Structure 1
Amino acid sequence: MVAVLSPIKLGQILNDEAGIRLLRARSAPIVISFLYNTFRKNNTQEIPYEVFRLALEDFLTEHVSEEETIESDIDEENIQLMDIASRVKTYAEDWFSEEKRYIFRYYNQNKEEMIRPSPSLIRVFSYIDNIIESDFISTDSSFNFILTQLRTLSENMNKDPESKIRELKEKIKELETEILEIETTGKVKTYDNRRIIEYLTDLKRKSRDMLGEFSQVEENFKEIMTQIAKKQASEDISKRMLLGYSLDLYRELNNSPQGQSFNGFWGYISTNSEDEITALSEEIISTIIENNIDYDASFLLNLRSSLFAAGNRVVEKNHILTDRMNRVMAQTNRTDRKGLDALYAKIKSKNAEILSNGSDFNDNNFIFIDDIKASLSFPLSKPLRAETEERTTSTILFEEKKDILSQIRALASEFKVDEKKLRDNIFSFSQENKIKTFTLKELTDRYPITKGLEEIVSYISVFRDYCTSVDISDTSTEEIKYLWNSDKYFCVTLPTITIHI
């Protein structure tokens, strides 16, 4: 059922949508032109702030006459008297301000200051794409997409076994007919250039839309954290009520169709070591080049890495949200402890008062149970404290010519390291460099070791659990550098460890 769009609701959308506010601005042509060329044209989801700033300086140098429209949209005195570097900084800060939110500024896991377009700006990009590409209507591919979806729905909603068997037999018959035709003629039917370009154009649009949807999911998590922070600052809500409120919001988002759809995607792309998307993309690009098809399919080169990076930002926001809820729970526990301490003090005070008055306790004050062993539990006999990591050490002997890898992995249980983060580093490194085989040294040069030897050991454990194979050289070694005590670097020499994912 399609919801009715009231004038009030539409007015709220128009006021809240950053992209629409930008389209209304006098500076829209020059601002959108720069942002579109920076992100959309280059198939870039994020860029370092320094690169963004230099690009804007170059752009304004080439469009001096249009810059006046940007100045008119900014409430800044004497901006004409600033040098270009200062003006660029002022423009950027205005665009990612809470009032406009055209772009977002944040720090990545390497603590680099980054810039990326907001979900609303991505929707503006899609609108512009549809206008620019309006001369190429992909009717054929769109119709086939609709037909395929209808067939898929019909096949997967039909619970009748006999009907399902008939469908499968028809597919087998069609495949056998196709095989026979190929064997007879020696030729394979393929799409002509028109259909190839049409499908590629449709694929580009859908992949861009998908990236925009991920950006919106990330923004939804951020909105939940904002709501939790506002509730946390309120004196009218207890810690328990805040925790319940946080869990309800978190559960609502994860159980929504949007959240379930993302979880299904992330489950595939984060664990699919075969990297089917990249393999198919490379095959398609090779065919385009071989057949001299006039189409820029470069977006396929970074398709999987772009999807993975966008999805990973959503996962990181999820982790931040989980961490915030954990802190709320910890605060709740501390509040409970204070209440219990006050109750203990009151009981002790009452006991002291009774004893100081010389009161005698007789049998009438107690209940006696014969021949029954009471099951007693004193969970509060020890102070309630946050659990601290207790390090223990043990000696593990490495037998020569034995399974060295399994012996090294035994060290992993000695310490606590976030293996999820290590696993993400492995797959991110593979995607960034478009390789499936690399060494531990290459990986740790990109993602430096910061938790000492235990992190190195944990990496080896993760290799064994999540990679296709691990090779330990008998002839070569490599030096792994790691940081210890936050200020000293050390090196450990290991056999060269090569992983395949």
Structure 2
Amino acid sequence: MDLIDRHDEIVELRRRHPAWALLRAGTAPLVLVFLGAVFVEENTRSVSRSELIGRLEEFLQGLRSETGDDGAVRYARSAKEYLDDWAAPETGWLRAYYPPGADEQSYDATPAVEKSLSWLRTLQPAPFVGTESRLNTVVDLLRQMAFGAELDPQVRLAELHRRRTEIQQQIDDVEAGRLDVLDDVAQRDRYQQFTSTARELLADFRQVEENFRALDRGLREKIATWDGGKGELLDEVLGDRRGIADSDQGRSFRGFYDFLLSASRQDEFTDLLGRVLALPEIAGSDSWARHIHHDWLDAAGRTQSTVRQLSDQLRRFLDDQVWLENRRVMEVLHEIEVHALAVRDLAPGARSAPVPGSSVPSPEIPVVLPTERPLYRPRRRLALDSDGIAAATERADPAALYEQVYVDVARLRAAVADRLAREPVAALADIVADHPLEQGLAELIGYLSVQEGVATSFDPEQVDAVSWTGSDDVDRTAQVPRVVYTRVVERSNGGAPA
């Protein structure tokens, strides 16, 4: 790309990108401070219109108590006018939508706000610029890519032997009392990179949701303008939905979400984070990092929920299309009936109107040769031997027919709470492993109704096998979508699950 094309691309980017327009706006300080505090710092993904107007009006009153350099009152417009302006399609700083089952509009910040705030953070002076940790990260990434794609077993074995030698050398140094401890500068350097990457991950979730919505919007446009057959349209729809999940972004998000749902990795991350934050050099840093993995889990769950909602909306959209086509077919049939009734009483040969009628092809007699017919085959008779059959003498207890199976939901809720007391997230398969099913399928369905004090999320793309032994001593296994429970505990700094 030459310089002229690059110049034209930047001009077009300045004209249409909402993040660039936000930085150039006269109310940019108001937008960035308010939306950054409400949606980014608190990691909030949905705020009702009435609540957001109230908080913005309170913030504007504090700003209006001060005057500008020219004596004029700053931000003279109302909170409602500012909110409508930020959520306008040509502005693109807020996304307005109606949550399922709600009659009041809600708002969420767009990726443009995240990008603008991220750029502003780079302008703020840093205590120091660390380069060592980033260099180590670059080298580790190159090593993972180089040897992760290597197909030669000898090359991989040589790399594993080299790493084993380095680990053995470290073990020998520790046993000899030679400890290589990170100094204060190295610790602060790595912690700064950790917090920066953690914030970028939270910002990426909004971009992932936006990309999923763009894919869904393109798919709807294809359905609305489709002029081919239904079978071809269904192939296109299923192909595009699989393409979303199998894309680079979809597979990367799946790997990240699987990490969040892994109890062992969660325990390891929580332990490492607690040990790092307990270091004297890091103890005075931001406290939000203590709950960053819970914020990740909440943001990832909202992204999964968005994808499920888009799939449900797409299914309803297709149902509406089919309903419209069926309605058109019924209208055509009704018109045929009306015309048929109008010409029913016309006399044959009348000149006032043409006589209705139609022509059919001449009937043909099918010819079948005798040799083509199958020969007669007599039916096979079965002989029944009724000798030795005697009347039953034993008596069965009919009380078993009236026994009912009662599932104690309180006991199931206690099992979920017991698992969540030890881990931040709990999968249904792990809970059943700790507390085997005693009442079979009825008890398994009872777990799905546990809602008090927990938030339940379903992942239909992941399937878990749940096994139990029935009353007849027969082992049974059910394939169920992955069910994950999380605690619903409000935190003072943002309301995310803890």
TM-score normalized with structure 1 length: 0.63
Which residue of the partner structure matches residue 298 of structure 2?
309
Post-superposition shift, 1:235? Answer: 8.2
Q: Which amino acid aligns with 2:302?
A: R
- After TM superposition, list the pairs within 5 Å mapping 1:195-206 onto structure 2: 195-206=186-197
- After TM superposition, list the pairs within 5 Å mapping 1:135-154 onto structure 2: 135-154=127-146
Distance 1:250 1:184, change over 3 A: same
Distance 1:330 1:60, change over 3 A: closer
Deviations 1:165-222 (A, max 9, x none): 222222222222212221221x643322222221121112222222222211211221
Question: What is the distance in 1 between the residues matched to 2:370 and 2:63?
Answer: 92
Question: What is the distance in 2 between the residues matched to 1:210 and 1:248?
Answer: 29
Distance 1:218 1:397, change over 3 A: same
Distance 1:250 1:209, change over 3 A: same
SS of match in other structure, 2:108? strand
Which residue of the partner structure matches residue 95 of structure 1?
86
Which residue of the partner structure matches residue 160 of structure 2?
168
Distance 1:336 1:116, change over 3 A: closer
Which residue of the partner structure matches residue 423 of structure 2?
none
Which residue of the partner structure matches residue 132 of structure 1?
124
List gaps (5 residues or longer) in structure 1: 72-78, 80-86, 374-393, 426-439, 449-457, 470-501
**Is 1:119 the counterpart of 2:111 in the alignment?**
yes
Which residue of the partner structure matches residue 222 of structure 1?
213
**Is 1:10 the counterpart of 2:18 in the alignment?**
no
Which residue of the partner structure matches residue 263 of structure 2?
273
Question: What is the distance in 2 between the residues matched to 1:123 and 1:257?
Answer: 21
**Is 1:410 the counterpart of 2:401 in the alignment?**
no
SS of match in other structure, 1:321? helix
Which residue of the partner structure matches residue 48 of structure 1?
47
Does the 8 A contact of 1:46 with 1:117 survive in 2? yes
Which residue of the partner structure matches residue 371 of structure 1?
374
SS of match in other structure, 1:191? coil
Q: Which amino acid aligns with 2:110?
A: S
Which residue of the partner structure matches residue 24 of structure 2?
24
Does the 8 A contact of 2:184 with 2:281 survive in 1? no
Moved more, 111-120 or 236-245: 236-245
Distance 1:398 1:33, change over 3 A: closer
Which residue of the partner structure matches residue 383 of structure 1?
none
Aligned residues: 390
Distance 1:110 1:250, change over 3 A: same
Which residue of the partner structure matches residue 175 of structure 2?
183
Does the 8 A contact of 2:209 with 2:306 survive in 1? yes
Which residue of the partner structure matches residue 362 of structure 1?
365
Question: What is the distance in 1 between the residues matched to 2:281 and 2:327?
Answer: 73
Does the 8 A contact of 2:22 with 2:116 survive in 1? no
Distance 1:188 1:206, change over 3 A: same
Distance 1:207 1:321, change over 3 A: same
Question: What is the distance in 1 between the residues matched to 2:375 and 2:154?
Answer: 65
Post-superposition shift, 1:101? Answer: 1.9
Does the 8 A contact of 1:193 with 1:293 survive in 2? no
Which residue of the partner structure matches residue 34 of structure 1?
34
SS of match in other structure, 1:63? helix
CA RMSD after TM alignment: 5.0
SS of match in other structure, 1:116? strand
Does the 8 A contact of 2:437 with 2:443 survive in 1? no
Post-superposition shift, 1:110? Answer: 8.6
Q: What's the % identity of the aligned pairs? A: 19
Question: What is the distance in 2 between the residues matched to 1:323 and 1:298?
Answer: 38
List gaps (5 residues or longer) in structure 2: 341-355, 377-400, 408-431, 457-465, 469-476, 486-498
Does the 8 A contact of 1:155 with 1:164 survive in 2? yes
Distance 1:253 1:33, change over 3 A: same
**Greater C-alpha Rg:** 2
Deviations 1:253-310 (A, max 9, x none): 33332222112222332x312352x653454344434525354242322222222222
1:319 to 292, 308, 311: 308
Does the 8 A contact of 2:63 with 2:74 survive in 1? no
1 or 2, which has the higher helix percentage?
1
Does the 8 A contact of 1:45 with 1:306 survive in 2? no
Question: What is the distance in 1 between the residues matched to 2:314 and 2:369?
Answer: 44
Q: Which amino acid aligns with 2:133?
A: S
TM-score normalized with structure 2 length: 0.63
Question: What is the distance in 1 between the residues matched to 2:128 and 2:293?
Answer: 25
